[in-house]
Amino acid sequence: MAKYIFVTGGVTSSLGKGIIAASLAKLLQARGFTATIQKFDPYINVDPGTLNPYEHGECYVTEDGAETDLDLGHYERFLNTYTSQANNVTTGRIYQTVINKERAGDFLGKTVQVVPHITDEIKRRMQLLGKEGKFDIIITELGGTVGDIESLPFIEAVRQLQWELPEEDVVVVHLTLIPYLRAAKELKTKPTQHSVKMLSETGVHPDVIVCRTEEPLNNDIKRKIALFCNVKQDAVIEAMDASTIYEVPLLMLREKLDLICMKKLNITEFKEPELEKWKAFLDKLKYPKSKVTVGLIGKYIELQDAYKSILESFIHAGAMNEVKVQVINIHSEFITNENVAEKLDGLDGLLVAPGFGHRGIEGKIIAVQYARENALPFFGICLGMQMAVIEFARNILGLSKAHSTEMDMNTPDPVINMMEEQKKIKMMGGTMRLGSYACEIKEGTLAHKIYHDTHITERHRHRYEFNNSYLEQFESNGMIASGKNNETGLVEIIELPNHPFFIGVQYHPELKSSVERPAPLFVSFIEAAKMYNEKKSGSKIHSVQDALI
């Protein structure tokens, strides 16, 4: 039977519960246990798939095609294992299940209530992965902050589980903030005391308190928190602000967060943590040998979380190449033919981001043209790939009105078109082409050099596709489809063989990049940017493709 660790948050949101949960899971994994993390979100949307990135950051897609919270991305990147639909549950999904059961008559005339029906469904889902028998430890992150009205049923479910499961099978970790008052030069414990009090009033008592802080917690402060919050002093864990999220597992190791949890869980046999690969990655990340600058062309650039997995993939790929990757966010809405050279000046590579809708589209197309004409390494993801196709159609094939039917229903040249099976879909939620699909790669192409393979699988999230009736025209003019899905014939990868590095993919390689397995496309793109940077001062840029091993 699996053991359960619940992570709650107090005082304020954005304290990094996801990173603490992922770090704890990493340490337990490094000590030889199989761990997974799940996130319970208190909002009513059935999943975050229909949310605007401004609302909730990136939507993270799992192998099985679930549209989930971006914290699942952190879990996968830290643990190097996949999550699934079961790892992300929202209040909306809980209610949907209960209401469907009610309509089916499953409650036999009973009044359906938050307690016990909603909390029963929450508890069932909290234990689903635990009952599969695949995991020793299930870490459940509860979204929201203690005291919020909407997280109450989740907290109540944890309270019930604390009683129903054997005592040594449940740990509650509460993450809070210890603010530092600069004027008084003092750390303040009162918000933490209040937050723990509020949690206790709902019947849940934390076993461990993790304190986010800018300044180290001295023993007096730890003693005070222990005393007022009714935990042992060694269960008060200091979580100092770190220079990178990837340092947090090591900080938590030093603070013995894993040991204190294992003690409560009555786990007595474990090995020294195996973190050699992690430490080697961290070393490369902290001490890069040089720097490259890449432009991220998108329309949600004000919000870092909108492109979370792309930014993290750059970090993994940078460490692999021993370079610091400086990412310059460029708003596509403001790129014009007149200012493109100035806006993209100084870049060593250009990534055109995924997205939806017509805002900022023309700027993306202009940026692609600049990269194509100036031998600047180019990498297009999903919508970014579609923009590269449109740019090529307009400027090389002479189809000046070519477009995607997503932006222009009446274009005479729909080089990007809605997928056939999408045309009959009316509902928005969970209906895109989602999750993992296979792609066959042509030998001798850039894609083949990058993946060292002819068969790959990558994750998807789109409704539109390359229109194959134009393929011959594209290929005879220099843009080739180097990757396709054999079953459907959908083009998955396009590239320009006569360019140093120009590749666009219909899928999202950023969703499968982890610390221990950086996404090959990102690694090669950064390598290409590095070579571009090194050769920039020289007169001629040679083919980066030849140098890729």
Q: Which residues sit opposite 464 in a β-bridge?
A: 418
Strand partners, 456: 439
- What is the nearest approach in angstroms of ligand GLN to the Cβ of residue 416? 7
The answer to whether residue 382 forms part of the interface with ligand GLN (CB under 6 A) is: yes
Residue that the structure tokens 């195996």 belong to: 274
When the beta carbons of 20 and 382 are compared against ligand GLN, the nearer one is 382
Query: Is residue 512 a contact partner of residue 361, using CB atoms and an 8 Å limit?
Result: no
Asked if 153 touches ligand GLN (CB under 6 A), the answer is no
Select from 98-106, 335-343, 349-357, 541-549 the region that touches ligand GLN (CB under 6 A): 349-357
**Euclidean distance between CA atoms 174 and 422, whole angstroms:** 44
Q: Does 57 bind ligand GLN (CB under 6 A)?
A: no
Using the rule CB under 6 A, is 307 a contact of ligand GLN? no
Catalytic hit among 117, 316, 462, 508: 508
E strands along 2-47, which residues? Answer: 3-9, 35-41
Whether the CB-CB separation of 335 and 543 falls below 8 Å is answered with no
> In 3-state terms, what secondary structure has residue 362?
helix
Q: Of the two residues 64 and 215, which places its CB atom closer to ligand GLN in the complex? A: 64
Q: Is 149 exposed, middle or buried (0-12, 13-18, 19+ CB in 10 A)?
A: exposed
Q: Does 492 bind ligand GLN (CB under 6 A)?
A: no
Alpha-carbon span 207 to 236, nearest angstrom: 9
Q: What is the token pair recorded at 436?
A: 């993992």
Q: Which stretch binds ligand GLN (CB under 6 A): 180-188, 314-322, 353-361, 510-518?
A: 353-361
Closest to ligand GLN by CB, 33 or 307:
307
State yes or no: residue 383 binds ligand GLN (CB under 6 A): yes
308 binds ligand GLN (CB under 6 A): no
Among 31, 123, 364, 462, binds ligand GLN (CB under 6 A): 462
354 interacts with ligand GLN by CB under 6 A: yes
Half-sphere exposure of 523 (CA within 13 A, CB side): 21
Residue 73 touches ligand GLN, criterion: CB under 6 A: no
Binding of ligand GLN by 463 (CB under 6 A): yes
Residue 459 interacts with ligand GLN (CB under 6 A)? no
Nearest approach, Cβ of 153 to ligand GLN (angstroms)?
Answer: 33
Residues 12, 14, 15, 19, Cα dihedral to 10°: 150
Q: How many CB atoms lie within 10 A of CB 299?
A: 20
* Minimum distance from residue 88 beta carbon to ligand GLN (Å): 18
Asked whether position 297 contacts ligand GLN by CB under 6 A, the answer is: no
**Least distance CB 78 / ligand GLN (angstroms):** 24
Residues touching ligand GLN, count (CB under 6 A): 10
Q: Which of 355, 380, 509, 518 binds ligand GLN (CB under 6 A)?
A: 355
Using CA of residue 406, residue 407, residue 408, residue 414, what is the dihedral sign?
negative
If binding is defined by CB under 6 A, does position 205 make contact with ligand GLN? no
My answer on whether omega of the bond before 509 falls inside 30° of 0, hence cis, is no
- The DSSP code for 519 is -
- Our CA angle for 6, 248, 55, nearest 5°, is 65
By CB under 6 A, is residue 464 in contact with ligand GLN?
Answer: yes
Query: Which stretches within 412-511 are classed as H helix?
Result: 446-451, 471-476
- According to the binding rule CB under 6 A, does residue 522 interact with ligand GLN? no
**Cβ-Cβ contacts under 8 Å for 319 (sequence gap 6 or more):** 281, 284, 285, 288, 518
* Residue 518 touches ligand GLN, criterion: CB under 6 A: no
- Segment contacting ligand GLN by CB under 6 A, of 45-53, 139-147, 288-296, 354-362: 354-362
Give CA–CA dist 277/417, Å, rounded: 44
> Rounded to the nearest whole angstrom, what is the least distance from the CB of residue 357 to ligand GLN in the complex?
7
Q: Considering only 75-83, 117-125, 239-247, 462-470, which stretch makes contact with ligand GLN by CB under 6 A?
A: 462-470
Q: List the interface residues with ligand GLN, window 399-418 (CB under 6 A).
A: 406
User: Smaller CB distance to ligand GLN: residue 139 or 471?
Assistant: 471
Residues 255, 406, 510, 527: which is the catalytic one?
510
The correct pick among 82, 95, 228, 356 for binding ligand GLN (CB under 6 A) is 356
Shortest separation between residue 515's beta carbon and ligand GLN, angstroms: 24
CA-derived radius of gyration, the chain: 25
Binding part of the chain for ligand GLN, among 154-162, 172-180, 253-261, 459-467 by CB under 6 A, reads 459-467
Least separation in angstroms between residue 364's CB and ligand GLN is 11
Tokens for 541, please give them: 């840029």
Rounded Cα distance between 455 and 452, Å, is 9
**Residue 95 binding ligand GLN, by CB under 6 A:** no
Contact 172, 3 (CB under 8 A): no
First to last CA, the chain: 46
Q: Does 299 bind ligand GLN (CB under 6 A)?
A: no
- For 279, 288, 500, 526, 532, the CA distances from 291, given in Å and listed in that order, are 21, 7, 20, 10, 12
Alpha-carbon separation of residue 358 from 344, 347, 365, 387, 492 (angstroms): 21, 25, 12, 11, 22
Span of 152-160, 205-213, 394-402, 455-463 interacting with ligand GLN by CB under 6 A: 455-463
Nearer to ligand GLN, 387 or 544 (CB): 387
Task: Please tell me the distance from the alpha carbon of residue 439 to that of residue 454, in angstroms, as a whole number.
Answer: 8
Task: Exactly one of 382, 403, 495, 527 is catalytic; name it.
Answer: 382
- Asked about 510 being catalytic, the answer comes back as yes
Contact range with ligand GLN by CB under 6 A, out of 69-77, 335-343, 352-360, 527-535: 352-360
Gap between the Cα atoms of 135 and 125, Å rounded: 15
Strand, coil or helix: 461? strand
Q: Is 430 in the site for ligand GLN (CB under 6 A)?
A: no
Q: Does 502 interact with ligand GLN (rule: CB under 6 A)?
A: no
Instruction: Indicate if 382 belongs to the active site.
Output: yes
- Residues in contact with ligand GLN by CB under 6 A are 354-356, 382-383, 406, 461-464
The catalytic residue positions are: 382, 508, 510
